[in-house]
Every structure is written in C-alpha cells, then in structure tokens.
Amino acid sequence: MSRLGRTEDTNLRNILVFRIGQLGDTVVALPAMWAVRRHFPQAHFTLLSDKHPGKTYVLAAELLKGAGIFDRFESYIVEGSRSALMLRAGRMLRLLFRLRRQRYDALVYLAPSRRTVAQVARDRRFFRLAGICRFFGMGGFRALPAKEQGKPLPETPSEADLLLERLAADGIPVPRPGKGRLDLGLGKVENIEVERWLRAQNADDQGRPWIGVGPGSKMAAKRWPEDRFRAVISTLIEDYGVWPIVFGGPEDSEAAERLVRAWGCGFKAAGKLSPRVAAAALKRCRLYVGNDTGTMHLAAAAGVPCVAVFSAREHPGLWYPYGVPCVVLRTQIACEGCGLIECVEHRNACLDSITVSAVINSCRRFLGRVHSGTAALHRTLP
C-alpha cells in the first residue's frame, strides 16, 4: 500500500540512506537521493556507505560533500582477507551501536538492484537492531531476466530508474524514467580548482574543443584496448581539432601519459583531480569517449554526451549513461551476462569486436554540431 501522504511520514526528521559501491554506483543513485531529499525537505540526512582500505575506490563522501543532499556521512570498512573477516563481526557491532545512538526515524534502502532476497532480509534485521522501524526502498526489487539459450539478453531499465521504482512502490514521488536529477551541486569552488589545475599544465589548448577520454577501468573485462583509444582520438584531432583530456583514477595516470605523448597534445587529468573537480572539468568537454566506468557516469552527471564502449558482462541498459545523449557500443555474444571481472577464456571477445571505425563514426554524431535531442540514443552491435 502506498505510504504517500501518511501523517507519520511527514514527521520523519532523521533519515539514514544506505548506498554502497564505487564512483559509478554513487552517481547512478543521485536521482533516488534527490527524490527522497525533495520528499523530506526538513529532514536531516546521513549517508551510510562502504570503504575499502588499500583500494583506490572513490568514497561517496568525496563526491557528495557540497552537493546539498546529505548533512552527515557514515561509513564502514570492507576487507576481503581472512584476518579481516575475523574483525568484521566486531566492526559491524560497533557500527550497530553508532547507528543506534543516532536514533534514526527511517532508512532509505538504496542497495544495488542485484541484492538477493537473503541479503535484503539480513540487512533488514541489522537495521531493525539499530533501532530503525520505517523502511523505504526495501521492497519492489525487479528480477532481472535470466539468460536464455540462443537468445540475446533483453534490455533492462537503468540502475538509476530501478532505484526510483523501489521508492515509488513506497509512496515517494519520483520523476519519469530517464528524467532523474544527477545534480552534484558544482559551483565556484570546483571551478576555481579547475582553473588552478589548468595554470599548472605545460600546454595551451588554444581554445580548441575539449573531449574527455576514459580509457581505464578497475575491471579488465571492461577495458577496450588502449591502442584503439589512441587511434580514435588521433583521428578526431586530425578531423575536428579536438583537445583530449584523459580522466580516471591514479591507476590510469601511466596510460594518460602514454596517450598524451602519442597524440602530441592534451591534458592528463587522471589521478590529478578530486571527483568533484573532475566533474567540473568534464562539464567543459563537448564529448566523452570511454569505457563503462565511474568516469563515464561522472561525465553523464556533468551533462556531457557520451560515446561509451561496453563489454557484454551485464544486462544491456542497466549501466548505460543516464539522462544524456549517448551512443553505447555493445556486442551481443553467446556468453553475454557473464559478470566476469576478467575474461580469460574468451579474451574480451565482446570488446574486441568493437572496431575503431565504429567508435569514430559514433563520435562524428556529436562533433561539429549542436545536439538538439535530449533522449539517449543506444546502439547495440549485431
């Protein structure tokens, strides 16, 4: 039954929002976060997310401090080693007591859409022990279609819209599919940092149009070959006079160095800018070209059209750039939906079949003209 309009909902003043994952996971949850902020404008919001010591993952707080959504940030440590597992119970117990002391009125549950029934039930028990009795987004999970022999995986709604769908099931008004708010609240502070970074560069873009490039990914199964990015951007430099900016994390800095050296122009932003400053720099780009990674979602949040090279490891549609004009290049293949982090057996066959010319032709749709449409354009390779 819809909870919209129930008196007790309007009295909720201290709300915990649960969302885990990396940079892209945080960005695609923005429409749901804004929806609950709009529905409870007087409430105090805390975000609970995970952090991974020793990893270069972007913390949710790094991206969302200053966005105007959350008043406070809470986190818990996730480690995979055997010794860390022995410490997990103690850490979760301490988290439980911290949450109880905050006396939250409600939980907004934005766990990933692939959460299993058992995981959701476990989380419900945990948050009940933390003293929370009201839950939003804990039901209404849509089962993603299973792979059928000899048939392509059907396209699914985006993760952003699946989260909104769960909130709607609990009576929270949400925007139409594809129309959620990705606003990061960027402003003067971030733009000053972009200008400071630009002054430190040893090259002048001479007013040439910027194109963001994202050649990296923490998953090997998502990485299109670096030499193909080099070929694509070389052609765009020759044909359109673009100025490439290589974005990504610290792990992408060496690739950025190699690419900019090969192109003979461009800026190396990978590992140099905070997530919010990177988003402000991306706003200045005419186009983003890159892999399915957090940088791609950051470009979408910045409102930049995207040409995105996708592996077939996930359902089509689930992680496509949200709310911006885009071309997604993805191959239908017998092993699609594998969910692999590294493809050893088939050596990234789905990515390997995406050609340099296909990506160049997709970029041509956006360069040299103003795109008048707002609906996303998806292209799946046969």
Predicted confidence at residue 373, as pLDDT, reads 37
Q: Which of 140, 169, 198 is the last residue of a domain?
A: 169
Residues 128 and 63 in one domain: yes
Range of the domain at 139: 7-169
- Tell me the three state secondary structure of residue 75: strand
Predicted confidence at residue 86, as pLDDT, reads 64
Residues 162 and 295 in one domain: no
Predicted confidence at residue 80, as pLDDT, reads 64
Identify whether 16 is part of a domain.
yes
Identify whether 273 is part of a domain.
yes
Residues 121 and 252 in one domain: no
The domain spanning residue 377 has which CATH number?
Answer: 3.40.50.2000
How is residue 119 written in tokens? 């995981």
Residues 199 and 259 in one domain: yes
Identify whether 27 is part of a domain.
yes
The 8-class DSSP code of residue 299 comes to H
Predicted confidence at residue 54, as pLDDT, reads 83
Residues 207 and 279 in one domain: yes
What is the distance between the terminal CA atoms of the chain, rounded to a whole angstrom?
Answer: 43
Residues 137 and 204 in one domain: no
Residues 29 and 137 in one domain: yes
- pLDDT tens, residue order, the chain (382 aa): 334 445 457 689 999 999 999 999 999 999 999 999 999 999 999 999 999 888 889 999 999 999 999 999 999 998 766 566 667 788 899 999 999 999 999 999 999 999 999 999 999 999 999 999 999 999 999 988 888 888 899 999 999 999 999 999 999 999 999 999 999 999 999 999 999 999 999 889 999 999 999 999 999 999 999 999 999 999 999 999 999 999 999 999 999 999 999 999 999 999 999 999 999 999 999 999 999 999 999 999 999 999 999 999 999 999 999 999 999 999 999 999 999 999 999 999 999 999 999 999 999 999 964 333 333 333 333 3
Predicted confidence at residue 369, as pLDDT, reads 47
> Do residues 305 and 146 touch, judged by C-beta distance below 8 A?
no
Predicted confidence at residue 382, as pLDDT, reads 34
Residue/partner pairs of 346-352 with CB below 8 Å, 24 or more apart: 348/220, 348/221, 348/223, 348/311, 350/311, 350/312, 350/313, 351/221, 351/222, 351/223, 351/224, 351/225, 351/309, 351/311, 352/225
Residues 149 and 108 in one domain: yes
**DSSP E strand stretches across 172-214:** 210-214
The domain spanning residue 36 has which CATH number?
Answer: 3.40.50.80
Alpha-carbon distances, residue 255 vs 124, 229, 251 (angstroms)? 43, 11, 8
- Tell me the three state secondary structure of residue 15: strand
Residues 104 and 49 in one domain: yes
Q: Which residues contact 112 (CB under 8 A, 6 or more apart)?
A: 20, 21, 25, 159
Beta-bridge partners for 245: 212, 267
Give the count of domains, the chain: 2
Nearest to 179 by CA among 348, 71, 30: 30
Beta-bridge partners for 268: 246
> Do residues 173 and 136 touch, judged by C-beta distance below 8 A?
no
